[in-house]
Structures are given as C-alpha cells and as structure tokens.
Amino acid sequence: MTASKQTYRLRDVFTPGGLPSVTYVGREHLDLEGKISRARAKGYAFNVVTGPTKSGKSVLCHKVLDDSPLIVIEGGQVKSEDQFWQQIAYKLNLASAASKGRADTTSITTTGEVSGGIPGILGGKGSGSLSDAAQDSSSLTYTNVPIIASLDKMINEEISLLVDDFHYLDHSVQKSVIQALKGAVFKGLTVFLLAVPHRAFDPITVENEVEGRFKHIEIPEWSIDDLVLIPQRGFAALGVAVDDKSIKEICDEAFGNPLLVQESCSEFCLQNGVEKTETENPPKKLDRKKLYLAFGEIAESKGFPKYQKLKKGPNPKKERLGRNLKGGASDDIYSVIMSAVASLGPKASTSYIEIRGAIKELLADGEPTPQKNEITSALAHMSKIAKDKIQGEPPLEWVRGEDSLVITDPFLLFYMKWAIRNKGALEVVPDMLL
C-alpha cells in the first residue's frame, strides 16, 4: 500500500513575496547558509549581506537565523532614529515604564566627650555613642529608554538583530544606528544588515570605527541552473506536468530574479485553473499557450508606477517638443527614450549608441533624430528622478562616464518587456509557444 500524495495549496508552493519552503533553493554549492551560520557563531561584527534587489537575501537569512531568537526591522518602514528603536522595543515587548524595589538603611553614630550635664539626660564626664538604624522599603518608577532597554535585553537574552533593506535608511539615521550598536556588538550582539551590492560599505562610510568589526557576505546572482529548480520542485509538488521548454522560458524571462520565477509559476498555474495539488493520473499538463497570458498579467502589476514616473520626466517649465513616430503618434523625448530602451530587450545595461539607434527606428520618416546632448540630458534627468522621486533603490542610473543606461530593477525590466515591447504579442498566441 503506497502512501497518499501530500496535498498543497498553490500559495504554499509558489510564494512570491513570501518565505518559500517547498520551492526553497539553498544553492548549496555556494555554501551561502554556511556563511550566514558561521558569521552568527563568530559574532562581534556587523555582518553586511548584499545581493541584487529581491535576490533572496531575506529568505536566506530567515532560513538560517529563524531557529533562534531574532528581531527583524524593515528599513523601508523607518524614517528616524526614534522609530528604529521604538520598533525594536515594541517587538521585544518592552514596557514604556518600569519599577525597581529600593531598600535604604540609615545608621547614625555619635561619639564625644561630655562635661557636666543636663539633668535627666546626660551627666558626668566620659564618652559614648548613639546608634539609630532605620530601613525604608519603597519602589522607584522610571521611564524606559528604548535604546538602552532594547540593547540590554538583546545582549542578555542573546537575541540577534536583522535590519532588512538597511540602505533605505537615511544617511543620518544609518550613522546614529551604527554608533548606537557599536558598543553592543563589542559585547556580543549579533547584527545582520541587508543591502544592495553598491551600498555594502555604508556602515564603514558612516562610522569609520566599525571597520575592524565589519564582515561582508556577498550573495551572487542566480544562474539558470539554480532558478529552474524552483519550477521543477513546485510543479512536482502540485502534481502537474510542464515541459522543459516552458520551465526554461520562465527562468529566462525573470532577469535572474527568483521572486519573478515564483510569480510566473504561480500565475501560470492560475491561468490553467490549478489552485492546489492535482490528483489526476497521468498528471495534468499545463497549457503552454497560456504562459504569455501569465507574463502579461504579472507585467500589469510590476513596474508600472516607476515606468510612468520615468516616462513623464521632470515637471516641464514649458511645453515639450513632440516627436512624430511611425504609426502617427507623437511623444516627447522621455517617452521616446523609454520606448526605445524597451524595444532593445530591455537589457540591464544599454549604451547611448544603442538607444540613439532605437530612437531612429521609432521616429517617423523625415523626423530628425534628437541631438546627443538632448538624449543624454533627458537620461540624466531620468536618473535623478529614479534617485530622488522613487522610494527605495533607484531602478535605473545614467552612467555618464560610460555613456550607458543601467537598469537594476528586474520588475521594471519585466514591465518594459511584457507591457511595453510585447504588448501586441499578448493579444495572440506567439508562434514560439506552439
């Protein structure tokens, strides 16, 4: 008699934005869990874990650290130093006030030489002592100082601290937090700070004295071989059959991001009516023709706000010049650039020459191509918008010295490909899916 197959809900298998279990991929060949575990065991350091946006830093750290007391702070939810410590105090269940018992003993001793005397009290000449002891038991009530109370409790109870998206904290808040944690780390507090690669050394930048207590743990980008394990394990758990070509395409289209793989697998199942483990024998085969429908559905919810802000550009002081496009439409320079970048892939890095060539392809016959200074000025403005107007990690950057546009946000790349470049393809089934 064979054991019955375990039944899973779709949300328990593919967990975009959550903590995976069935589809967790530890990438054991990189020894990532071992690096986190050894850093915790060694202690006495600021452990800075870096990796691309949504690359699994949080999942990895939770996988290793959740087996012992842990306080987690989300950098994106902290706007000031006070908020940082208030959140920790709240998660530690620290009261805003506390009391301590007090026992005071007062002793008075008098010695001296008396000559003569007062009748009935002291008489004659001599020396003596007078001792009076009194004990006063009372209680002192005081206001808890969140930073002191929190550090004391975390140190005394060996509670680790993990700050996710540390780079989201304002520079001044970072400095205050590092300064406050410095002494606690010296006493044994375990601290993990999660950040994107180019912000790995923020703790040293804001406080030079922590350089000797700094450890950098880098999380590499995902390979296709590692990414394909997510759909393979998940589809097997759900009892559905998916061809290797679809699995590879899901991973190829994720721009190296495991969360997008999780999202695509989940939506592909939903498009095929799969919401829990299937019991069909042979296994139900997912319709490959619905894969692009899944991509289109995801694209509509990923990257749109960022794309719109970048496409809009800065607030114009005067009406912008419209550029006539093939097909009869007209757009300003910012819209044209974003469409051009999308038409090229989009890619993580695109050169000025490629962008200019793509712009020429979009423009109507006879429409002059913008000058280089017009294009690069617009790209510089977009880079500033990405840094100043979009919360969190800037999704793109114009690297002037290299004449290239770098897009670091996989969700923006996915949106530009599946909601902009391939918009027409989503209305029909592409030949490549047949």
Task: Tell whether the torsion through CA atoms of 165, 167, 168 and 169 is positive or negative.
Answer: positive
CA angle 183, 186, 188 (to 5 degrees): 115
pLDDT of residue 25: 97
Backbone angles phi, psi at 406, to 5 degrees: -110, 125
Alpha helices in 194-277 (DSSP H): 202-206, 224-227, 229-237, 244-252, 258-271
Kindly report the pTM of this predicted structure. 0.79
pLDDT of residue 1: 37
Q: How far, in Å, CA of 422 to CA of 292, rounded?
A: 10
Identity at 410, one-letter amino acid code: P
Among 363, 319, 306, 322, CA closest to 340: 363
Topology (CATH level 3) of domain 28-93+145-218: Rossmann fold (3.40.50)
Of all helices (H) and strands (E), which one includes residue 175? helix 171-186
Segments of the chain scoring below 50 in pLDDT: 1-3, 104-135, 425-430, 432-434
Token pair 């996988």 is at which residue?
A: 63
Q: What residues does each domain of the chain span?
A: 28-93+145-218, 223-301, 309-408
Q: What share of the chain is helix, strand, coil (3-state, %, to 5)?
A: 45, 20, 35
Written as one string, the DSSP assignment of 92-159 is: TT--SEEEEEEEEEEEEEEEEEE-S-BTTTB-SSEEEEEEEEEEEEEEEEEE--HHHHHHHHHHHTT-
pLDDT of residue 105: 47
Architecture of the domain made up of 223-301: Orthogonal Bundle (1.10)
